[in-house]
Amino acid sequence: MSDAPASWSKLTDDLERVLYTREQIQTRVNELGAMIAADYANRSPMVIGILKGAVMFFADLTRAIPASISIDFIATSSYGSNDVTSGVVRILKDLDRPIDDRHVLLVEDIVDSGLTLSYLVRMLRARHPASIRIAALLDKPSRRKTPLQADYIGFSIDDLFVVGYGLDFDQRYRNLPMIGVLKPACYQKLGGEES
């Protein structure tokens, strides 16, 4: 058995089009890492990945920050179908360590309605961190239901349902190295819970 998959076509055939290639993502993530390292000079932020969607972005972003950081993860689940967040967020896994007086950088895959992140920010503020900032790989500003602005944004996109690089549909496509728009034929409404 060869180490590398012969082709991604089994998954990419389900894409209507590729929005960002692996290379474009990597370039942008490296730029964000450099910005974050400069902004947090002389501070050691706690970088928190929001599972599961942010896992690829988190892994690449943290390795693009040449500074002293610590990491933790939080897992959330929103009630509602996979493409519509209800705003009711359940914490499936909380942080391992306290964040009081720490500079927190939340790492999210995509900001859509903004409801998940505004809930999380409110919850984490109550733990008295020194500061909270948000890094989001993707932003869909036209879908916002609550005022929420990420501090670091990879790409701003239109109102499209995208998969790949951590983003799923029914838990599939997360391992795609690129980000693409799913073909309508592959897109059915499911009562998915996890993010």
* Footprint on this chain of ligand 5GP (rule: CB under 6 A): 53, 85, 108-116, 161-163, 167-169, 195
Kindly state the smallest distance separating residue 31's Cβ from ligand 5GP, in Å. Answer: 22
- Per-residue burial over 20-47, b if 16 or more Cβ lie within 10 Å, else e, is beeeebeebbeebbeebeeebeeeebbb
CA dihedral 183, 113, 170, 62 (to 10 degrees): 100
Report whether 68 contacts 36 (CB < 8 A): no
Question: What crossing angle do the helices spanning 55-62 and 22-39 adopt, rounded to 10°?
Answer: 60
**Helix (DSSP H) and strand (DSSP E) numbers for the chain:** 4, 9
Minimum CB separation of residue 42 from ligand 5GP in Å reads: 31
The whole-angstrom separation of Cα 193 and Cα 20 is: 26
Q: How far is the CB of 3 from ligand 5GP (least distance, A)?
A: 28
Instruction: For the CB of residue 23, give the shortest distance to ligand 5GP in the complex, in Å.
Output: 21
108, 150 in Cβ contact below 8 A?
yes
Q: Check if the beta carbon of residue 170 is closer than 8 Å to that of residue 153.
A: no
Cα dihedral 122, 174, 145, 141 sign: positive
Minimum CB separation of residue 44 from ligand 5GP in Å reads: 26
- Amino acid sitting at position 6: A
Q: Which residue out of 109, 112, 139, 168 is catalytically annotated? A: 112
Whether 112 is catalytic: yes
Give the residue with the Cβ less far from ligand 5GP, 40 or 173: 173
Is residue 130 within 8 A of residue 147, CB to CB? The reply is no
C-beta closer to ligand 5GP: residue 40 or 168 = 168
Residue 67 vs 92, nearer CB to ligand 5GP: 92
Q: Which residues are catalytically annotated?
A: 112
